[in-house]
Amino acid sequence: MGIQLSPKFGLNPTIPVCFWCGSDKNEIAVLGRIGNKIRGEDFEAPKHMVLDYEPCDNCRENMSKGFTVMEATNRPNSVTNMEIQSGVYPTGRFVVLRIEAAKRMFNPEILTIGKAFIDVKLFDQLFGMGV
């Protein structure tokens, strides 16, 4: 099964945007037909859109420099209604800690994962980045 072309918009391309920083990724996504064919829906893809939670090259590089702490909620929030994992809805805010700092804050099992999700209130308390 391949991409079904849109009768109106053909390949229907979009430029993926990084969920974490909002920058364009160096990619083009071909979406084809968007909508329910039975109902006759055929929508044009936005020129730029977030497609997934994969960080862009710049965010990936920054996240690799230490331990990544990501703010998340346990239900859909104002940023997303899609889970990154079961019961976890990221807000897009994150910090990267030096490993030495992370060792003082998290237990060793979590450190091996390289990242952690924490709720909005704790994120604000720890990092003072209230919106």
| 61 CB-side CA count, 13 A | 3
Burial 107-118 (b: 16+ CB within 10 A, else e): eeeeeeeeebbb
pLDDT per residue as tens digits for the range 24-33: 999 999 999 9
Q: What is the structure's pLDDT at 40? A: 87
pLDDT > 90: percent of the chain: 87
pLDDT per residue as tens digits for the range 79-124: 999 999 999 999 999 999 999 999 999 999 999 999 999 999 999 9
CA distance 81 to 88: 10
